[in-house]
């Protein structure tokens, strides 16, 4: 039996490795763009930045140091320089695939940071596996701009797993919808008509504001925002405002809110303040072809009919009055049930003539007042 040469004995002392094999190595040198490992083979293993991570600018000296051990996958046993090429990223991806497969099968909730925002959705990375969450599955409400999710940690479930095509789809909307349903049930279980509740303005439209009550939205209609007239809800509320209101009605899954608290009702002592014969001062709030609505303060408006503005014939109120102008007039009619007050400036000028107004003229005034009030109500409801 011939004796082995030193070179043969040295050769046999090294283990045999193959492409695709998983080995453990010890870091013997680290550079910004590569890590060199002793893997117990005759040649050292080279782990490049591109085979360590998908981050193109990562400095490897910040993630590894001499003496560290790590598991890697052999890509090529002998390259052109006789070195062994290794990959940490591919091994991590394989392990990640198994992790994602288990999460998909068990519908496990995963948590990861958004690494990229695209036009059609966002991307997250879990154990080196890139998962795409389409824009329609990012939230339970439509979001035009997804940039706010950049760098944010979000929870989701994997709803599509196809490693052969490298297609991994996540769904965050499913979790948010489930949370909202739970919160909605808890909310409806505890609220009742008449309850005072606080919420944040979620959206403002021309007809009202939607208030997030924590589980469901309540509608604060323009007609319920104040005892006074609200011309434009967007001038009263903005998104994010905290609103205190009471529940006016609950119908199915809809909640109607109101800020017209009874203790602030300007009509509760109106009979004495606005008794027939009282002289009042107010500002012209708006005008119709029949007359001008005079704001008497505290959400109380009165109608100054065109025939009661002056002793002279006036074609339309805007010929002699303008919005914002202050006027003084006498209360000639008060109806608490219908919340209607009629004024007359002419009564201050010619009280006797006004009192002797023909009955047919008074009827015309009454009809016109009713018509103006009706138009006012229709405009508010729209």
Question: Is the pLDDT reported for residue 73 higher than 90?
Answer: yes
Q: Is residue 8 part of a domain?
A: no
pLDDT of residue 166: 86
Widest Cα–Cα separation across the chain: 146
Share of the chain above pLDDT 70, in %: 86
* 63 occurs within a structural domain: yes
Which of 166-180, 204-218, 355-369 shows the lowest per-residue confidence on average (mean pLDDT)?
355-369
pLDDT at 292 over 60: yes
Tokens of 23: 């080995």
Question: Given pLDDT bands bounded at 50, 70 and 90, which one contains residue 69?
Answer: very high
* CA angle (191 as vertex; 189, 196 as ends), nearest 5: 165
Per-residue pLDDT for 376 more than 60?
A: no
Better pLDDT: 135 or 77: 135
CB atoms within 10 A of CB 366: 14
- Average pLDDT of the segment spanning 52-63: 90
**Residue where a domain terminates, one of 176, 210, 227:** 176
State which residues form the domain around 202.
191-263
Tell me if 319 is assigned to some domain. yes
Residue 51 in contact with residue 16, Cβ under 8 Å?
no
pLDDT at position 240 = 93
DSSP string, 254-319: EEEEE---GGG-TTTTHHHHT-TT-EEEEEEEEE-SSEEEEEEETTEEEEEEGGGS-SS--S-GGG
Q: What is the mean predicted confidence (pLDDT) over 178-188?
A: 92
- Tell me what pLDDT residue 3 has: 57
Residues 338-355, mean pLDDT to the nearest whole number: 76
- Looking at every residue in the chain, the average pLDDT score rounds to 86
Give the domain-ending residue among 263, 283, 301: 263
Confidence bin at 363 (pLDDT 50/70/90): very low
Residue where one domain finishes, among candidates 28, 59, 87? 87
Strand partners, 199: 243
> Does residue 172 share a domain with residue 113?
yes
The model's pTM is 0.58
Identify the pLDDT of residue 368.
53
135-180 per-position pLDDT tens digit: 999 998 888 899 999 999 999 999 999 988 889 999 999 999 999 8
Is 346 part of a structural domain of the chain? yes
From CA 54, how far away is CA 94, in angstroms rounded? 15
| Model confidence pLDDT, tens digit, residues 105-125 | 999 999 999 999 998 999 999
Same domain, 361 and 286: yes
Residue 198 pLDDT > 90: yes
Shared domain check, 309 and 279: yes
Q: Could you tell me if 70 and 114 lie in one domain?
A: no
Residues whose CB is less than 8 angstroms from the CB of residue 335 and which lie 6 or more positions away in sequence, other chains included? 341
Residue 85 burial (CB count, 10 A)? 19
Q: What is the CATH classification number for the domain harbouring 73?
A: 2.40.50.140
- Please check whether residues 121 and 223 belong to one and the same domain: no
The domain total for the chain is 4
């Amino acid at each position: 039996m011939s004796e082995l040469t030193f070179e043969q004995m040295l050769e046999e002392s090294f283990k045999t490795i193959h492409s695709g094999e998983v080995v453990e190595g010890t870091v013997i040198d680290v550079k910004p763009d590569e890590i060199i490992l002793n893997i117990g083979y005759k040649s050292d293993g080279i782990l490049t930045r591109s085979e360590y991570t998908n981050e193109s600018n990562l400095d490897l000296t910040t993630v590894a140091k001499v003496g560290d051990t790590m598991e890697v996958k052999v890509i090529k046993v002998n390259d052109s320089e006789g070195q062994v090429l290794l990959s940490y990223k591919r091994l991590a991806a394989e392990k990640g695939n198994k992790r994602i497969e288990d999460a998909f099968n068990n519908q496990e909730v995963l948590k990861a940071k958004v690494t990229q925002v695209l036009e059609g959705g966002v991307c997250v990375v879990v154990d080196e596996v890139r998962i795409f969450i389409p824009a329609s599955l990012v939230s339970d409400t439509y979001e035009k701009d997804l940039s706010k999710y950049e760098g944010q940690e979000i929870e989701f479930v994997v709803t599509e797993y196809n490693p052969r095509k490298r297609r991994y789809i996540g769904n965050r909307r499913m979790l948010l919808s489930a949370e909202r349903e739970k919160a909605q049930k808890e909310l409806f279980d505890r609220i009742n008509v008449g309850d005072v509740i606080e919420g944040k303005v979620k959206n403002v439209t021309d007809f009202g504001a939607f208030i997030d009550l924590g589980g469901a939205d309540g509608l604060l209609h323009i007609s319920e925002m104040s005892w006074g007239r609200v011309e434009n809800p967007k001038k009263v509320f903005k998104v994010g405002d905290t609103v205190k209101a009471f529940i006016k009605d609950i119908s199915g899954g809809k909640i109607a809110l109101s800020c017209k608290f009874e203790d602030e009702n300007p009509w509760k002592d109106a009979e004495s303040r606005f008794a027939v014969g009282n002289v009042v001062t107010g500002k012209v709030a708006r005008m119709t072809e029949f007359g001008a609505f005079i704001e008497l303060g505290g959400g109380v408006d009165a109608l100054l009919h065109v025939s009661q503005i002056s002793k002279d014939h006036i074609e339309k109120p805007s010929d002699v009055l303008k919005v914002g102008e202050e006027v003084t007039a006498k209360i000639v009619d008060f109806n608490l049930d219908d919340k209607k007050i009629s004024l007359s400036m002419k009564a201050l000028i010619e009280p006797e003539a006004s009192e002797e107004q023909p009955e047919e003229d008074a009827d015309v005034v009454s009809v016109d007042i009713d018509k103006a009030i009706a138009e006012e109500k229709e405009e508010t409801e729209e």
